[in-house]
Amino acid sequence: MTTAMHGSKVEATDDTGAPPQDTANVAQAGRPAASARRRRPRRELPQFGSQVLLMLLTLAFLAPVAWAVVSAFKPAVEIIRDPLGFDPTRFTTDNFVAMFSDVPLASGFVNTAIVLVLKGAITMFFAPLAGYAFAKYDFPGKNMLFGTVLLTLMLPTIVLIIPLLLEMKEFGWVNTYQALILPGSVDAFAIFWMRQVISAVPDELLDAARVDGCGEFGIFWRIVVPVIRPGLAGLAVLTVMNIYNDFVWPVVVTTSDTMQTLQVVLSTLAQNISGNTIGADYATITGELLAASSVALVPLLIIFILLQKHFINGILAGSVKG
Amino acid sequence: MHQHQLRAGPRAVRRVAALGAAALVTIGFTACGPSISGADDAGDSSTLQAPTEESPEGTITIWDRSGDLYEVFESVIAEFNEKYPDITVDHQAVDIDAKLQNTLITGTDVPDGVFLDDAKVAGFAESLWDLSDVLEPYAGDIAQQKLDVNSLDGGIYGVPWDLDPGLLFYNATALEAAGVDAESIETYDDLLNAARQYKQAVPDAGPIHLEQSAFLGQLQLEMYASQLGTSLADADGELRLDSLEYEQILTFLDTVQQEGLGTRAEYLGPTDIETLEAAKQVFYPWAIWFDFAPQQLLPETSGDWRAMPLPAWEDGGARSGAMGGSSFVIPKDAENPELAWLFYEFLVFDEAGYSAVYGPNDVYPNGLNTSIPSYTPAADPDEPLFGPVEALGGQDLWKTAVEAGAEIPGGAPIPTWWAGAVDYLGNNIQRMLDGDLTPQEVIEQSSADIQSNLVDRQ
Amino acid sequence: MTASTALDTRMPPPRAPRRRRLTRTALRRRLAPYVFILPFIAIFALFSVYPMIFTLRLSFTDWRGTGAATWVGLDNYAYLLTNPGFWSSLGNSAVMWLLIVPAQVVIGLLAAVLLNNAKLRMRGFYRTAFIVPFVTPLVAIAQIWIVVFDQNYGPVNDLLGVLGLPGIGWLTTSEWAKPTLALLFLWKTTGFAIIILLSGLQSIDSTLYEAAELDGASRRRQLWSITVPLVRRTLMFLVVLQTLAVFQMFAEPYVVTKGGPYSSTTTAGLYLYNHITRADLGTGAANSFLLVILVMALSLLFVRLLRAKD
C-alpha cells in the first residue's frame, strides 16, 4: 500500500486543489495529453449526474436556511402566523433595525473575530505538531497520554463547564480573552484527527528527509505540513466553525456586554424562544433572532470562501515547486 | 504501516480506563485548585437588612431577560435615579437560564439582582438573601400566592413581582353565533355543557384547549390546583398529588378528551393558531398572558375574544388560580445587595415605580397587560394601570384580572423539583389524553416516580 | 528540499543502524516529540485533564452547587444503573444512532466523492452550501422543524394528504419523533462528515484511479475497489466521532421536543443535561462517566471490526 504512494504524492495534492476553471490547465499540464483527451467523453455524463445530485442535496441543505433569511424580512408577527408564506408587498427591514438597536451585535463581531484569530492560530499550529509527535515518534508515556486524549474526547463537555469555571475564578480569568481563547484551544478532537491524518504520511518520506539533514522540526514544517494540506484545510474549516458556533462556554465565562461574542448575543436573544416562558414579544424576538442569524452568516461565508481559496492556492504552489 | 497504526488504536483505547487514574496521579493536580466542598458560610447573616444611610451610593448590576420586559424595566431606571441619584444601575440583558446557576455556584461576578421565574426561586434559595425582614412592612399587602411561591423554610427569597391569574378566554362572537351563553358559565360543569352545546352547533370543533406540551400542560394543571388551594407539594416538601383535588381536575380533562370536546395542541403552535382562527377552539383556560395572542397572532378573530374569571370547581369556589409569574432575587454574593433591594422596592412597591412598569410607556403605549401587580395597593380594580384591550373588544381586562387575582387562594408553594416532575406527571397527563391512562393511574404512577426520583434524592 | 528529491534517494528504512551512527541526531530525535507535545500538554492538562479529574471526584459525591459536597461512594452510579430513565435514554440514543450514522456515512461519502472530482463545476459553492446548516442557530432551525412537521397544518403532512396518505404526528408521537429529530441532526451535521471524508479522499493517490481507468474499471467499481478501502480509516474515524456526537446530543431534542413526547427523545445527552440543569451535579458527573464507558466500548468494537476486515 505504501509503495503505491511513491512518487505520486505531489501529483495527488495537485489534483485535490485544482479549482474548476482558471487553473484547470495547470492541473492538466502534468498529465499526458492523450490520457486527458481519452478521459473527457467518459466524464461528461457523470458530470451532469453529479450536478443534479449535488443540486438536490444543496437544495435540501439550504432550504431551511433560506427560510430563516427570507423570514427575517417579514413583519415579526407573520413569521409565527404564516411561517411559510411571503408577501413581497410586506417586505420590511424592521427586524434588522430593532435587532441592531437592541443587541450589541457589532461588539459581538469584534470579540468573535479576536477569539477566532488567536484561538484558531493556536489550534492550527499546536494540534498538528502534537499530532505529528503522536503519529511518528515512540516515546515513553505516549500511549497513556493518547489514552487520556481519547478519554477527554469521550467525556461530554457539558459536565466540564462548572469545574472549568471554578478554575477560571481561581486564575482571575473570568470575563477575559484568555478564558475565551485558551480552554479548548488544543482540543482532543484536533489532536486525534491530526494524529490520524499524519499517520497516513509514509515513514520513508520522513526518513529520507532525515538523511538529507533535515532537522526534526524541519521535517514537520517542510515535509509533513505540505503533504497533509487537505487535512489541514479540513481542520481549519472545522476549527472556524467550532469557535464561531461555540456558545455554552462563552455565555458562562463572559459577564459584560463588552466581552460577549456573537453567539452569546444570539443566545441572549434566543432564550425567550427556547425557554418555556413565552412573553408578550415572542414574535418580535423571533424576528430579531432571524435577522441577527442572517447577519451572522455573512462573515462566516466570507471566511469560508477566503479559506477555501487560500488552501487551493497553497496546494498549487506546493505542487509547482515539486 | 496501516497495520501498525491500527494496532496502536485499540491498544490505546483499551488502556484508557486504567490510565485515567494513573494520569490523575502523574499530573498531580488533585491536591490543588478549588475543592469540591464549597465553603458553607450561610448562617444568621443571610437575612438582608435595608440600608440606613440618607442617600446611599454605589453601582448595582441587574440582570433581566432581553425583550419587552428589559425595555420596560430600563425605562424605570430614570425614575429610580430621581429618587436615588447616587445609585448607578448597570442593567444587562442576559441568558439567565444558561448563566445564573453557574454564576451562583462559582461566585464570580455575581449580579446584585436577577429576574427569575417563580418556579425557580426555591431551587436557588441557598444562594439567595432571605428577604423576610425587608419585605416585612409590605407582606400584608402582597398576594398570598406570591409569598408562598417565594417561601422556603420560613424565609422569603424573592421580591414578588407579577401575579398571573388564570382566566377563561372565549371567542364571544363564535359562541354567540352558535347560541351558547358563555357569560353564564360559573363552574367547570357549566363549561362542559357549553362546550357540548357548541360542539352540536359546530360538529368539527374541539371547543376547549387541551395543552399538548408536557411542560405547559403541567403548568396548567397547577393553575387548576391553585384554584383549589393545593399544589404538588406542601410547605414541608411532602408530595400531595394523591388527593381528591387532583383527581377532580384530571377527571375533568379526561372527560373533555373522551367526549371529543377538546383540541389538543401546543400553546400557540401552528395547529393551535389555525384552530383558534377557525373558531374550532373557543375556550382557552389559561393565564392572563394568553391575551397577547388575540393582540398579535390572531388577526382573524381579534376583537372576538373576551376574558372572564375561570369557572369554579364547586359552586362558590375560587374563580382563579395562578399560572406562571416572576420575582426578583438578590444573590448572597452580590456586592451591593442593599442597594438592589432599594431598586426592587421602588419598582414593585413605589407608586412611581409600578406605574412606570404597568402604565403606558414607550414600549407599551397602552400599558403592559400580560400580567398584573401582586402588590395589592397597586392592583385596585377601579384604578387601572393599563387601558382597555382592543383585541378583547375593548374589555377592561384590568378589572377582570385584578378581581380574579384577588380570588387566588394561598397555600400553593412550588417545590424545588417542580420542573423535573414534567418527565413523570407532565408526560402522564399526555398519556391520559392519549387514552392510555386513567386519572387514577396518572396519580399513582406519577406519585411513585416523583417520590423516588425527585423527592427522595433531594 | 522537495518531496520528490527525497524520494529519489530511495533510502531503506532500517532504524536501529542509523541511530547508532548519528548520536546527536538520535538525541534530538528522541527529545523532539516531547518538545512538540509540550504546549499541547500544558493547555490540555490545565483545561481538560484537571476539570476531568474534578468531575471524576464529583461523581462520587452529592453536590447541589452550594454548601459542602457529601461523599456518597458509588450511590450515584447505583442510582443511574437501576433507573429505567437512564436505560431508556441509552435506548433512545441507540435508535438515534441507527437512524443517523449509517445514513450520514452514505450521504457524506457520496457527496464527498462527487466533490472530490477536480473538474466538477461549482465545487466551492457546494462545499460552502453543505456547511451552512452547521452554522445556523439551532433555535431558528427548531422553529422551522416545528412548523414544517406540524401534525395538522405542516406542509409535510399537506403533501402526504395530496398523495392520499394519512398525516403523521411527526413530533407528537413516540414512534415518529425520533426520526424527525434524527433528520434535523443529519441535516445539521452532514456538512461536518463531508469535510472529514473529503480530506480523507484528497489524500488518495490519483494515479490509482488513472490506472483503474486504463484497466476499464467502471466508476462504481472504482468506488468500491479503491475509494472505500482507502478511506476506511477516515470512515471509521468519522463513525467514532459521530457516535460520540449522537450519544452526547442534547441541544437538538431540548429545543425541538424538550425530550418528549413521553421522553422518547430524551437522549443520553439530554438525560445528563437535565441532571446538571437541576444542579444535581454529582449524578450528572456519574452519568458522564457511564457514557464514557459505553462510548469507549462502542469505539473499541468499531476499531475491532475494522481490524478484522484488514
User: Chain-centre distance of CA A11, in angstroms?
Assistant: 26
Instruction: Determine contact: B98 vs chain C, CB below 8 A.
Output: no
Encode burial over B49-59: b for 16+ CB neighbours within 10 A, e otherwise.
eeeeeeeeebe
Q: Which residue of A has its CA nearest to B105?
A: A162
For residue A311, the model assigns a pLDDT of: 53
- The reply to whether A255 and A215 lie within a common domain is yes
Q: H or E element: which one contains B32? A: none
For residue C3, the model assigns a pLDDT of: 38
Q: H or E element: which one contains B378? A: none
- The reply to whether A78 and A148 lie within a common domain is no
- The reply to whether A127 and A197 lie within a common domain is yes
Asked if the model's pLDDT at residue B273 lies above 50, the reply is yes
Across-strand partners of B58?
Answer: B87
- Contact C206/A39, CB-based, under 8 Å? no
CA distance B290 to B269: 13
- The reply to whether A213 and A296 lie within a common domain is yes
- The reply to whether A118 and A63 lie within a common domain is no
- The reply to whether A51 and A158 lie within a common domain is no
Q: What angle do CA B160, B166, B171 make, to 5 degrees?
A: 145
Please state, as a whole number, how many other Cβ atoms lie within 10 Å of the Cβ of residue B68. Answer: 20
Q: Are C197 and C112 in contact (CB under 8 A)?
A: yes
**CATH fold group of domain C77-307:** MetI-like fold (1.10.3720)
Q: Which of B92, B296, B299 sits opposite A283 (nearest CB)?
A: B296
- The reply to whether A258 and A305 lie within a common domain is yes
- The reply to whether A159 and A29 lie within a common domain is no
For residue B409, the model assigns a pLDDT of: 94
- The reply to whether A59 and A167 lie within a common domain is no
How far does B272 lie from chain C, in Å, by closest CA? 10
Q: What angle do CA A310, A315, A318 make, to 5 degrees?
A: 125
What the block records as the C-alpha cell of C120 is 466538477
pLDDT in tens, A223-267: 899 888 878 888 888 898 889 888 889 988 888 878 889 888 888
**Count of the separate structural domains present in chain A:** 3
Q: Which of B12, B34, B370 sits opposite A146 (nearest CB)?
A: B12
- The reply to whether A29 and A131 lie within a common domain is no
Using left for φ > 0, alpha for ψ between -120 and 50, and beta otherwise, residue C299 falls in alpha
For residue A320, the model assigns a pLDDT of: 30
Q: Which domain holds residue A63?
A: 47-92
- Contact C50/B29, CB-based, under 8 Å? yes
Q: Is the dihedral of CA B412, B418, B423, B424 positive or negative?
A: negative
- Using pLDDT thresholds of 50, 70 and 90, give the confidence band for residue A279: low
The CA radius of gyration of chain B, in Å to the nearest whole number, is: 25
What the block records as the C-alpha cell of B11 is 491498544
- Using pLDDT thresholds of 50, 70 and 90, give the confidence band for residue A120: very high
CATH code, domain with A302:
1.10.3720.10
How far does C219 lie from chain B, in Å, by closest CA? 25
Largest Cα span, chain A: 73
Nearest-10 crossing angle of helices A282-321, C123-131: 140
CA distance C232 to A279: 51
- Contact A268/B93, CB-based, under 8 Å? yes
Backbone angles phi and psi of C279, in degrees to 5: 60, 20
Instruction: Determine contact: B13 vs chain A, CB below 8 A.
Output: yes
Q: Which residue of A has its CA nearest to C241?
A: A189
Encode burial over C76-114: b for 16+ CB neighbours within 10 A, e otherwise.
bbebbeebeebebbbebbbbbbebbbeebbebbbbbbbb
Across-strand partners of C177?
Answer: none
- The reply to whether A59 and A130 lie within a common domain is no
C chain contacts of residue A160, beta-carbon cutoff 8 Å: 48, 51-52, 55
Q: Is the bond preceding C261 in cis, omega lying within 30 degrees of 0?
A: yes
Question: What string of pLDDT tens digits covers the 310 residues of chain C?
Answer: 333 333 333 444 444 444 455 577 778 888 889 999 999 999 999 998 999 999 999 999 998 877 788 899 999 999 999 999 999 999 999 999 999 999 999 999 999 888 887 777 888 788 888 888 877 777 778 878 888 888 887 888 888 988 988 889 898 888 999 999 999 999 999 988 998 888 888 776 666 777 777 777 777 777 777 777 778 888 888 998 899 999 999 888 988 888 878 889 999 999 998 888 888 889 999 999 999 999 989 988 887 876 665 5
- The reply to whether A186 and A87 lie within a common domain is no
CA distance C60 to C52: 13
C chain contacts of residue A178, beta-carbon cutoff 8 Å: none
Q: Are A225 and A128 in contact (CB under 8 A)?
A: yes
Among A72, A92, A112, the domain-final residue is A92
